[in-house]
Amino acid sequence: GAVVSQHPSWVICKSGTSVKIECRSLDFQATTMFWYRQFPKQSLMLMATSNEGSKATYEQGVEKDKFLINHASLTLSTLTVTSAHPEDSSFYICSGKREYNEQYFGPGTRLTVT
Amino acid sequence: AQKITQTQPGMFVQEKEAVTLDCTYDTSDPSYGLFWYKQPSSGEMIFLIYQGSYDQQNATEGRYSLNFQKARKSANLVISASQLGDSAMYFCAMRESPNTGNQFYFGTGTSLTVIP
């Protein structure tokens, strides 16, 4: 299957700082990438849909000014958590859509805000 | 209404036995896709099996098979000959209008524990 990487896999930051998470499709071009967050023992919640070269579409309740998404190329999307707070601590997962029906997930990034 | 419902928060199965994980879905779109993912403790989402709404036959992938009952709107995952490495969270997901890049709807997951 196709490979999606995320960097970093784990990050700890102080409250008030910003953190950038990268999502890369390594062996395919992803015209659409999705960003999810997952709290412990819960399901994945879609945060936003990112299309290359255009603004991301955010789900209801997700602050677009807090969670900045950039999809500058067909292989890279970034999620920046600005002015992070402890309640932003979560597991963030990206996925890339390659073609019909195929969506491949990255390994996830565990964010801890102290 | 929930798009995807998984009613079994936790399941136990004896090693080498088969287990069925339940999933029901809700959609009015005639074209949709159903997916099952496995998430081990490492967190990575691993694709297991896919069933299209127009597929006539139930999908199978190795030890995984999908029991697709369209009229009942159910898409249960059957794992045969369970192995210790099958212990993980399992998520059922659906995407409507597959060609449009629509979002995935995920169920709440089922935690499967395989007992030696």
Give the tens place of pLDDT for each residue, B88-112: 999 999 988 755 556 688 999 999 9
Q: Is A34 on the interface with B (CB under 8 A)?
A: yes
User: What residues of chain B, 35 to 94, have a C-beta less than 8 Å from chain A?
Assistant: 37, 42-47, 50, 52, 91
Question: Cβ contact (<8 Å) for A93 and B43?
Answer: yes
Cα–Cα–Cα angle for A12, A78, A76, rounded to 5 degrees: 130
pLDDT band at A100 (very low <50, low <70, confident <90, very high): low
**Sequence-ordered strand ranges (E) for chain A:** 4-7, 10-13, 19-25, 32-38, 44-51, 57-58, 67-73, 76-81, 90-97, 103-105, 109-113
**Per-residue confidence (pLDDT) for residue A34, from 0 to 100:** 92
Taking CA–CA distances from B45, the nearest residue in chain A reads A105
Cβ atoms of B106 and B91 within 8 Å: the answer is: yes
Q: What is the distance between the alpha carbons of residues A103 and B30, in angstroms, rounded to a whole number?
A: 20
Q: To the nearest whole angstrom, how far is the Cα of B57 from the nearest Cα of chain A?
A: 17
- Is the pLDDT at A42 greater than 70? The verdict is yes
**Per-residue confidence (pLDDT) for residue A40, from 0 to 100:** 86
Cβ atoms of A107 and A6 within 8 Å: the answer is: yes
- Is the pLDDT at A5 greater than 80? The verdict is yes
For the record, the structure tokens of B17 come out as: 């036995």
**Per-residue confidence (pLDDT) for residue A18, from 0 to 100:** 97
| Average confidence (pLDDT) over B22-34 | 92
SS3 B99: helix
- Interface mutation target, options B8, B45, B90, B100, chain A, most CBs of A under 10 Å: B45
